[in-house]
Chains A and B, each alone.
Chain A
Amino acid sequence: MKTTFRKSMIWLHTYCGVFVGWLLFAIFLTGTLSYYNEEITHWMTGKSLSTHSQEAMLANGLKTLESKVPNATSWQIQLPDDRGQQYRLSYRENGERGRIFIDSVQLQEREEFATEGGNFFRTFHYTLSLRQWGGRYLTGIAAMLMLVGVFTGIYTHRRFFKDFFTIRRGEPKKFVIDLHAIIGVITIPFCFVISFSALAIYINMYQPFTIAEYFESYRSLDREVSTRHAPIKALKIDAQHPILIEEVLTTVKQQWGDDVALSSLAITNPSDVNAQLTASKAKTDILSNKAQTLALTRNGELLSSIEPERTARMVRRVFYGLHEAHFATPMLRAAFFILGMSATILIATGMVIWVDKRINKQPKRIHRFVEKMNYGIFYGLTLAVALYFISSKLAVFNLNLVHHELTVFFSAWLASVVFVLVVNAERAKFGLLLLNTGVFGVLLLIEFIRLFEVVTMDSAQQFDVPNLTINCWLVLTVFYFSYSSKKLKKAKSESKDVKELVQC
């Protein structure tokens, strides 16, 4: 136990951070990338956005499902959006689920994309690709320690509130401390919401004994506390006519306005007279992760509305929604992305400060190890992300590595860690920075070639916001890595000059 409360808080802040720093860095980096989940998939697959109306896509979806799986017990049409969300049909037939992927421009069936796209980062950031081996428990522990780190950080860096808005650029070590402090302050609400919601999302996993006390299982808890439209019973009489999609949309527009955007349409017992349709509104104007829905008959008549959920459930849904940020416009999404990246830098600078403070006083083997591992984990992960992107982008040169994208990602990360362990720390850092610059630069070059094709060859692809967004971030990333490597090179040559002067 430390002598003062503040000292205890500093100790807790330091060791919470050091204990899960690398894990938190990986979670926050991949989690931040998953703000652009749909955009990354769209950018990696090089497809165009749909120009069809939602009426046309719903009609096409129904026609496809009617011809492919007329006897299914349920259908669902997932509509594409302007972020590049995929146009997908799903169904349940004889107790088994199936999916049909539709090209949102041609409106014809297509193969499933070979790449996992942005979805890889989304699943990785909460399962660590260890879904069946406790990955979600590990991320839960990391989220809990992040919360502790956020609150103890307020005590640790309380001086910052006195020196508000101060970043000392001239002194590298103080610059890192100031950067850590200012990012810590501006991301307090962000980090709190993200860490708390991460715990709230999987509360049913993290509180198993409490749930077992009141419910059979966490699935039964979900069933009991979630509300849904009262189902109408199937009459087992085949309908005389197909679903009247125009009438359905007329009712939907009467309820939600003419410019409503739907995210999906689900149909239970589609061939029955008593088919039940559930139209879900795109979650663009609500914080909750539960979409607003309308239940309708096959003729477009409105059925009973859904009951509101319990307050606790709604609070969890709002935190869930805030975590996913599905409501965000492109500008707000960019702002969240910057805050996410800032939180990632916060974690990285925290680790760097811990090492720097100790390595100059009494360097021990553990400090050297952590210093090297910092470079390997941080720059290795960014390099792995770049190579993951390249594995699908190389298709431009008929070099398709898309089926090995995960192998490429993990191998690159592991190789970076091994590289830093066998090479001198400074050299390893410089090497990884250069590699990052090179690989992200190649990625940018590939994009330029693609854009050149779009402009000159009257390609079917067009300029669109998702592609533009990812390319803008890519340019900034290349700039950051090239600037950092140049700066490091300059610092190295300056320190060499100083050494030579001292020797003279």
Chain B
Amino acid sequence: MLSVTSFSEVISFLCLILAIALLSIGVGKHFKDCFKKPIKERQQRMIRGLGWALLMLSLAVVNPLPINYVIWLTQLSLIILIQAVVLSRFQTIRKKPHLKLGRNPSR
């Protein structure tokens, strides 16, 4: 996305996208919104672990020049923003139980 000139930068960028996608899916409500079923604890641990591992890998393969770390951090910020916007499209509006049933909770 940003000054993608070498192979390592492409790998880093792809890992970053995948990492953020996995980390966001690892959040229970986003998983439910996307796959219409609740996430299992083991699944969540695996997804999050893989997400963090990919994030670390993405940082590790960056060509070690100061300017490349600035690019990486900028990519990270923008991918999180884009991911949040994408997830908001899948979102289902959750209502509190009393609102669903049309009851007044104070009663």
Contacts and interface: CB of A to CB of B under 8 A. Distances in A.
Interface of A: 163-171, 182-183, 185-187, 189-190, 285-287, 318, 322, 327, 329, 331-332, 335-336, 338-339, 342
Interface string B43-83: 00000000000000000000001110011011101101101
A318 B65 CA distance: 13
Contacts of A164: 23-24, 27
Contacts of A339: 74, 77-78
A335 B78 CA distance: 8
B93 interface: yes
B67 A335 contact: no
A167 B84 contact: yes
A189 B77 contact: yes
A335 B2 contact: yes
A165 B84 contact: yes
Interface of B is mostly: helix
Contact of B85 (A167, A286, A336, A338): A167
Contacts of B71: 332
B2 A332 contact: yes
B2 A168 contact: no
B88 A169 contact: yes
B91 A169 contact: yes
Contacts of B30: 165-166
B62 to A, nearest CB: 14
A5 B19 CA distance: 34
B93 A165 contact: no
A445 B81 CA distance: 31
Contacts of A186: 77-78, 80-81
19 contacts: A164-B24, A165-B80, A166-B29, A166-B30, A167-B85, A168-B93, A170-B91, A170-B93, A182-B80, A183-B81, A186-B81, A189-B77, A190-B77, A287-B66, A322-B70, A327-B67, A332-B3, A332-B74, A339-B77
B2 A287 contact: no
Contacts of A322: 70
A183 B75 CA distance: 14
B85 to A, nearest CB: 7
Contacts of A168: 88, 91, 93
Contact of B27 (A165, A286, A336): A165
B106 to A, nearest CB: 20
A166 B67 CA distance: 30
Contacts of B74: 190, 332, 335-336, 339
Contacts of B67: 285-287, 327
B23 to A, nearest CB: 8
Most interface-central of B23, B29, B66, B77 (chain A CB within 10 A): B77
B87 interface: yes
Interface string B12-53: 000000000001100101100000000000000000000000
Would you list the 6 A-B pairs with minimal beta carbon distance, nearest first?
A167-B88, A186-B77, A165-B24, A329-B3, A165-B84, A331-B2
A182 B81 contact: yes
Contacts of A335: 1-2, 74-75, 78
A189 B27 CA distance: 23
